[in-house]
Structure 1
Amino acid sequence: MKKIFLLLLTAFLFIGCSKDEDTIYDFIGTWAGTYEGTEKGDWNIVVATDGKVTGTMHSDQTTENYNISGYLSESGELNATIGSPADGEFKGTLTREDKKGSGSWTNAVPTPVRTGTWKGEKTSK
């Protein structure tokens, strides 16, 4: 009886630990980095347990702070807006394995429209 129990327990552990199960858990925490393009600066976001993303972009040129808000999928796809109301986009991908992220951004306020890329990494849980 004991052997059957151990065999079943082992089988359930292997089934329960499948790598196919993507969850938001690995992304929860603070992420930060830099952005560049027609403007440059730094950014930071916090990923919550429900996938909600909040943060800021800080411009080196204008010393302005722009709000970032949006959502992260369980696979790491980030879809967020810049400004309130939304004046631009902050999109990209965060990775589980190396805890890094990259993507693109656009911001229409103030004019003219500014665009570029961003990169960063997870800084804390």
Structure 2
Amino acid sequence: MKNLLVSFLVVIAIFFVACEEDDVKPFEGTWSGTYTGGDSGTWEAAVTYSSDDGVGVVTGTTTSSNAGGGNSQIAGALGSDGTITAAIGTTNDGGEWLGKFEKKDASGTWKSKDPNGNSIEGTWTGKKN
């Protein structure tokens, strides 16, 4: 009986350790979705963690479905609460990609400039792959 109790406690301890690790990096992986507004298209991004501080690094690409739109880079940080603050496009574009990641879903707003330098904005949604 004592061995059974010890075995049970070991299994429970392993379970809690495994859960704790998942909570530190809950958004790690690849994500993809669509964006609409002044431009529309698809996006893909990877969330990685370089430490266990809960802050993720987001890198990815948007692909415009509009003629002449091309691709833009996404680069930023993802807070432990799922809040993303990222830049899109070039430094001159001054584009922002803001929003919130949940367990399997993400959404937010974006703003940038079109090829003519006009300000454009819209919304984005996505899911964890």
Is 1:105 matched up with 2:106? no
1:1-125 equivalences under 5 Å are: 22-24=23-25, 26-50=26-50, 51-61=56-66, 62-85=68-91, 87-96=94-103, 99-110=104-115, 111-123=117-129
Q: Secondary structure at the match of 1:27?
A: coil
The root-mean-square deviation of aligned C-alpha atoms, in Å, is 2.5
Distance 2:61 2:122 in 1: 16
Aligned length: 119
**What residue ranges of structure 1 are gaps of 5+ in the alignment?**
none
* Deviation string, structure 1 residues 31-89 (Cα, Å, up to 9, x no partner): 00000001100011100123111001111112410000001011111110012326200
Distance 1:45 1:52 in 2: 10
**What residue ranges of structure 2 are gaps of 5+ in the alignment?**
51-55
Assess if the C-alpha contact under 8 Å between 1:23 and 1:75 holds in 2. no
Assess if the C-alpha contact under 8 Å between 2:69 and 2:114 holds in 1. no
Query: CA 1:30–1:17 in structure 2 vs 1: closer, same or farther (change >3 Å)?
Result: closer
TM superposition shift of 1:13: 7.4
Assess if the C-alpha contact under 8 Å between 2:99 and 2:107 holds in 1. yes
User: Which aligned runs of 4 or more in structure 1 are off by greater than 3 angstroms?
Assistant: 1-19
